[in-house]
Structure 1
Amino acid sequence: MFNSFLKLTSICFALLLLPISIMAQELPSSSLYVVTSCYVNEGSSFLDAVEEARATIPNDDNAANMMFFRQPIAGTNFEKNQFFRVVSWNNLQHWAQPRSLPATQEYSCDNHNRTFHTTRVVGTNGNTAYTDTDVAFVSARQCMAKDGVSLSEVYDWVDTRISRGQASRQNDNTMVQMSHKILGASPNVASGRMITIRRIGDSRQGYARFFDEQFMGTRDRTLGALPDAPFEFCTDANLTESYIVHSPGRGI
């Protein structure tokens, strides 16, 4: 009788642990995105800043994987002459390697207020961004995850939704990323719940083809938050024009 009780107790305990094991899924590997607000100096243009960066960013063993300058086109409360420097690194150890950046004449950056994000590709278009070009449209929306939701749950939900949408469209060569902010405070957001969903065009025209098929046709769309979404809310997307200013693989 006692042995039977022990067996029953062990089975019940194993069943209690089973959902935890199922839910504790591993995430795909990530890169590190470091985002900084920058400003075009008086008398200069955004394209001046792009050309200066391309000419002066060093390409050595400690260099970043890629660097982008993103100029706002559609958004809220962006400042005059503001743009974003987005830099892709392997990880924080890569970012922390000693290096010196050249002084800039055309622009200045707020290096005291960077934000650090782990970044993963979601959906089925894994390597379609900036196809045969160094400039593309990029849209991004901010979402706040529900309290207590795991990052893997958020990733799986976003990956499923994005994959389904990409498969349903004829003109979608956009690549989508999900970023999770780790460092750098967000007003009114606690406990590291800020997620960015970023859609990158294969070019400006490529993003426009996706946009027109998704929003300008006869396709019906559900408005507002979906009931099964792992987010409390998401903002409307902003749109930027994004230039590659550093990419060793492209010779920039």
Structure 2
Amino acid sequence: MYDLPSEFPEEPGLPDEFHDLQPQLLSRTLRLTAYSQENWFTGTDLNVYYDPTHVLWHKRPDWFLALNVPRLYNGDDLRMSYVVWQEQQPPHVIVEFLSPKTEREDLGRFYRAQDRVIDPRADQFPPPLAPVNTPPSKVEVYEQYLGVKHYIVYSRYTRRLRYFQLVSGRFQEQTLQAENPRIWLADLDIGLGIWQGNFEGVPSAWLRWCDRAGNWFLTDTEAAQQRAERLAERLRSLGIDPDDID
């Protein structure tokens, strides 16, 4: 990890504000009952190095979850990248957020013309130059090199959620409800859906984890606020105004 580059400024699809906030919500609402929080890692916009024979080849998922790895690199440091042949565990879940520059790469063979992301600023973005000695595409890497069990793609422009599950070594798109689409990851006992709400002061349609019944998991901040509200109600029931307590 210390020897490989952690930044490629020329890479298309560098994060905007949505790409900063949405991964935070995914990480802060993740609940895995079968795993300790010290036994998984969630990465945001980190280089994932996947082929030891081509050590500079990498992909940069918007968000991913790796299981059975320590929260800290070697147990004592923050990760600058994720080197699969050192970690010995590929990402288990990868989520990509579509943008005009990355949609074809994110969807690969599943891309259709009707999937095109329409952005009013699109004419400001020149097409990227094709690199020489092109490495495998993103879908090929996630499917064939990493064997990612769950590949999820979301467009904030169209609010469309798509789910590709690894079946016999190949991604197969799973049918979701058109209205209120939800994904259920049975091996993790957790669901993912589109939540219309306010996160960090921004009202939008966000991806968020939920239980089987569709109840949204709370962030740490929301849980603390909920506890404070319950305590305030309890004090009021005892005739104590919580606003009078210093």
- Taking structure 2 as the reference length, the TM-score comes to 0.28
- Give 1 or 2: higher strand fraction: 1
- Give 1 or 2: higher helix fraction: 1
- Which of these two proteins has the greater Rg computed from alpha carbons? 1
- Taking structure 1 as the reference length, the TM-score comes to 0.27
